[in-house]
A and B are shown apart, each in its own frame.
Chain A
């Protein structure tokens, strides 16, 4: 890796230039694709955002850490950049396209910088331009980093939401709770199922817990193991566990795989499981004898 050495006076000069010309830079940036597409309503907002970014760049230049994406100078605009990139992401832009838009910010600043010097062959001008390029490259990385972080946060949040949404515990009757399992049962999901089921047993003072696997597409030995663990844990809490909704195909698979579910109480459907739980508690549900006579 080539170490890029920045002469302190060049960095200082660049910083001074960015600070002095921030208004012009901001106005030019406001017309650039990145800012004009994000701040479609008000140009003033775009100018303000551009000014903040220019000032942050000046701070970074002054600190001399032009290549450091963790330079403290960037902290002030990280939120701002995050909002801008998330606005771009929401309108369907990929990180590559955003990076290209950020790259477009360099040219206007370089033009302004060139205009600063009378002599086009000035050594200092070239040094400053080089530093500016480095700095804009770092800005690009910072923007990309914020974009990717935002994406990862979104994925983590959605994964958690999926876990929560997919495992509701329902009280079917007094003392009877049920979990309708939908989708593939992996270890992290079965952990969540187990925890929420046990909490519900305590909360509702349930004697019977029904695990309905109608929505589980396949049952292999791992899924069966998860089911058996959940049943065992519920039993330790003093509740009897019933597994229901085993489809004929799944029943055959279980038998073919040689999985022994003999210690687990099973019923064909959720209704059968509920009927069992009610019968065990001495509850009988029957049609009202007068129902036929009173019906209109």
Chain B
């Protein structure tokens, strides 16, 4: 499944900020790790002690998104929606946005934000002083 069968890709950490789950993706995400992330997020939403108010996926550290990762992101959002949770993609780079559009992956159902700060503000739960809009 991964290019390096001997090395297990490190799972992507899912941070809980209050009732918001924050996932920061960095560098290359191997297919295995992406699928693991999809599983982790849905588990965390389902098993959370408090109702999860939203999932924020920070893409600012990602330089390449292929069609697989694009689909995984859409699936994460779709399954989160089934669990009554909003997903916001934050901090996508211009080059990544262009690539996704050229691939035909416009991710129509997904909410997007310029950065994590804006995403948290959109969820009306911003811990920072900026506060919700």
Please state if B100 and A237 are interface contacts (CB–CB under 8 Å).
Answer: no
**A142 on the B face (CB < 8 A):** no
Please state if A238 and B100 are interface contacts (CB–CB under 8 Å).
Answer: no
Please state if A233 and B101 are interface contacts (CB–CB under 8 Å).
Answer: yes
Question: What distance in Å separates the Cβ of B4 from its nearest Cβ neighbour in chain A?
Answer: 30
Question: What distance in Å separates the Cβ of A247 from its nearest Cβ neighbour in chain B?
Answer: 26
Chain A contacts with B in 205-243, Cβ cutoff 8 A? 205-207, 229, 232-239
Number of interface residues of A (CB under 8 A): 20
Please state if B114 and A194 are interface contacts (CB–CB under 8 Å).
Answer: no
Closest to A232 in B: B106
How many contacting A-B pairs (Cβ < 8 A)?
Answer: 54
Please state if B114 and A236 are interface contacts (CB–CB under 8 Å).
Answer: no
Chain B contacts with A in 75-125, Cβ cutoff 8 A? 89-90, 92-94, 96-98, 100-102, 106-108, 112-115, 118-119
**Given contacts A229-B101, A232-B106, A233-B101, is CB(A238)–CB(B113) below 8 Å?**
yes
Stretch of A48-56, A151-159, A195-203 on the interface side: A195-203
Please state if A199 and B101 are interface contacts (CB–CB under 8 Å).
Answer: no
Number of interface residues of B (CB under 8 A): 21
The winner among B96, B100, B101, B115 for most chain A CB atoms within 10 A is B101
B-side contacts of A201, CB under 8 Å: 94, 114
**Given contacts A236-B92, A238-B92, is CB(A205)–CB(B114) below 8 Å?**
yes
A-side contacts of B94, CB under 8 Å: 195, 198-199, 201-202, 233, 237
In Å, the complex CA distance between A101 and B10 comes to 72
A-side contacts of B108, CB under 8 Å: 263
Question: What distance in Å separates the Cβ of A203 from its nearest Cβ neighbour in chain B?
Answer: 10
Please state if A232 and B112 are interface contacts (CB–CB under 8 Å).
Answer: no
Please state if B98 and A194 are interface contacts (CB–CB under 8 Å).
Answer: yes
Closest to B65 in A: A236
Please state if B114 and A238 are interface contacts (CB–CB under 8 Å).
Answer: yes
B-side contacts of A282, CB under 8 Å: 133
Q: Known pairs A232-B106, A236-B106. 13 more at Cβ < 8 A? A: A201-B114, A202-B114, A205-B114, A206-B114, A229-B101, A232-B101, A233-B97, A234-B97, A235-B112, A236-B96, A237-B92, A238-B113, A238-B118
